[in-house]
Amino acid sequence: MSPAIHTAPRILLVDDDPVTIETLRRALLGLGTIYFASRGAEAVRLLSEVRPDIVLLDAELLDLTGYQILDALRSNPELADVPVLFVTRHGEQEIEQAVLERGAVDFITRPVRPAIVAMRVKTQLRLKEANDRLRELASIDPVTNLANRRAFDEMLAREWRRCLRNRKPVSLVMVDVDRFKRFNDHYGHAKGDQCLTAVAGALRGCVHRPFDLVARYDGEAFVMLLPETDTAGVLQVGQRILSTLAAIALPHAASDVSSHVTVSVGASSYDAACASWLGIQDETFAVVDPGVDSADLLAAANLALYAAKRRGRAQQCFRSIDAATAAELAAVA
């Protein structure tokens, strides 16, 4: 996995009082990029689009309560760990208890004291940065320095939902090193790890966008998640992988496929904008789609990978996802 790109923290202020918004903005200048919302519906939209690092949330808005927004946020796996500080006109113990029980990390009472707000926000941002770093370290494969299977599963679930919500295509590439057991038997496991590291570097060089993910899936298998990539795009990536490995030409004397290391590639793609059988998005980020899910995309890529192996390896095969394919995959499962 490539090192994380650290950007300025994103701070979302949700309040229908312009004076409070301005006070909070001045208090938090220099701590990050600040976004504003004065209505609950606008806040819900920004939560999804901005993915803030912290939210300061008014308990009582004109269209939605802060509690409703917090419940929606906590029910969304993509946003569940975002710290929320409630801004309330109340100071009673029962209000504080209700706020914390619903998942807020702290609360601020009016009138707002800028120095206290800044200190509490700094503390929560430091805690989130530390937790994000721990999650990042737990998501790296130690041999290849790529994302591991856990990180891939989490990213697939997140990007699948996002692409469906925005009616964008999403694609997968499964890559398997051909005759890797023979490589290990012939050269030894230390050389085998070096081979996997070299393949990982080649795969990483085949994608260029920050939201593309290359991960070690299992053993000598790798996977590439390509959000907002259609069929033509994923086929280009697959061909780039084959060409890159051929150009590197890592020796593989024990292979019956080639004198150098080769890979088999299985690609799959799903385009939500072209799926007339797609379900409906609700207002709390959920996507209801009875026909297909991310597991079907992965299964289709696996089927394509095995087809590439059956046809002689060192090549690419493709399976699209549509209603018929989803039904076929369900029958296989």
Please tell me the number of Cα atoms within 13 Å of 250 on its side-chain side.
24
Q: Is residue 187 a contact partner of residue 324, using CB atoms and an 8 Å limit?
A: no
Amino acid identity, residue 98?
A: A
Pairing between β-strand 84-88 and β-strand 54-58 as defined by DSSP bridges: parallel
DSSP one-letter string for 250-268 = -B-TT-SS-SB--EEEEEE
Tell me, yes or no, if 283 is annotated catalytic.
no
The b-or-e profile of 173-188 (16+ CB within 10 A means b, else e) is bbbbbbbbeebbeebe
- Block residue for tokens 């113990």: 93
**The two three-digit tokens of residue 45, written as one number:** 């939209």
- Which residue out of 42, 136, 220, 228 is catalytically annotated? 220
Of 57, 53, 55, give the one whose Cα is nearest residue 8.
53
| Dihedral angle sign, alpha carbons of residues 134, 140, 145, 146 | negative
- Block residue for tokens 């309560």: 65
Q: Is residue 245 a contact partner of residue 193, using CB atoms and an 8 Å limit?
A: no
DSSP one-letter string for 97-160 = HHHHHTT-SEEEESSP-HHHHHHHHHHHHHHHHHHHHHHHHTTB-TTT-SB-HHHHHHHHHHHH
Catalytic residues, which ones? Answer: 220
